[in-house]
A and B are shown apart, each in its own frame.
Chain A
Amino acid sequence: MSEFKIALREHDTVHVLELKGYLDAHTAPTLEEAFQTLLKNQRYNIVVNCKDLSYISSAGLGVFMAYIEDVRKNKGDIKLSNMSAKVFNVFDLLGFPLLYEITKDEQDAVQKFLAAK
């Protein structure tokens, strides 16, 4: 099954999207909706926890590219955490670590936002 789920959590002013499953052209619209909802509600400090993300294709990577500019214009950021080697390799192949901060743990990413407050 091409299953993909998102759980949303909050740590103070930081919003964490926890991704689970396969992020491809079929499931990318679900992530897009989640970003749209966050931005509509002016939530710009976003951590994407990829611990249970087992697969990503360019359709999924495109979602991160689609929202990063708006988020940063509003003095926020999209930080990624807990990435498996398999998923990191795809990000790395495209040079995404140049643009996105990728931390080992969700807590590291959350703390960076809180420390910058």
Chain B
Amino acid sequence: MGKRTIHIESRTERLVAVREFVSVAARESGFPDDEVSKIALAVDEACTNIIKHAYKFDPTKEISVTVKNKTGALEIVITDTGIGFDPSRLQSPDMKEYLTHYRHGGLGVYLMKSLMDKVAYKINAGRRNEVHLTKYLPR
């Protein structure tokens, strides 16, 4: 398959198209259904963060999602040109504390880290920000 890209406007109604695009690619790469669901959810979370935090719901902005087949792995690169927000600096919440104190928000980044094997950020605020999500094929 190599590499393919979808470009979407920064709107939450476009999340379904991203999930479908990523699910097809992951399935074609040989991931089983439960792993396909995890990858699609992680990409949804990355795009939702961009729509809310990097673009602040400005629907004129664009998000690009590129899937790359690598040996034994699928890499997804999500690109935006919004304000630089580097969630890798955020500490993962202690979920027990989070739940018992009825905390809100911040679950998307935690989910991405839990669902994927590797999460990396390249931030160049206002120019080009990238989130790299990698999942290894089960042996």
Contacts and interface: CB of A to CB of B under 8 A. Distances in A.
Interface of A: 1-2, 22, 24-26, 55, 57-59, 61-62, 65-66, 68-69, 86, 89-90, 93-96, 98-99
Nearest to A24: B15
A21 to B, nearest CB: 10
Contact of A65 (B34, B37, B44, B102): B102
Interface string B93-106: 00110111011110
Main secondary structure of the interface of A (DSSP, over half): helix
B90 interface: no
Main secondary structure of the interface of B (DSSP, over half): helix
A25 B114 contact: no
A58 B107 contact: yes
Contacts of B99: 94-96, 98-99
A112 B54 CA distance: 44
Given A65-B102, A93-B115, A94-B95, A1 B16 contact: yes
B16 A62 contact: no
Interface of B: 12-13, 15-16, 19, 34, 37, 41, 44-45, 48, 51-52, 95-96, 98-100, 102-105, 107-108, 110-111, 114-115
B12 A26 contact: yes
Contacts of A59: 48, 108
Nearest to B109: A58
Contact of B15 (A25, A69, A94, A96): A25
A36 to B, nearest CB: 15
Contacts, number: 72
B48 A57 contact: yes
B22 to A, nearest CB: 13
Given A57-B48, A61-B107, 19 more contacts: A2-B13, A2-B15, A24-B12, A25-B52, A55-B19, A58-B48, A59-B108, A65-B102, A65-B103, A69-B102, A86-B34, A90-B111, A93-B114, A93-B115, A94-B110, A95-B95, A98-B96, A98-B100, A99-B99
Nearest to A72: B102
A22 B100 CA distance: 27
Contacts of B108: 57-59
A95 B51 CA distance: 26
A61 B114 CA distance: 15
Nearest to B42: A57
Contacts of A2: 13, 15-16
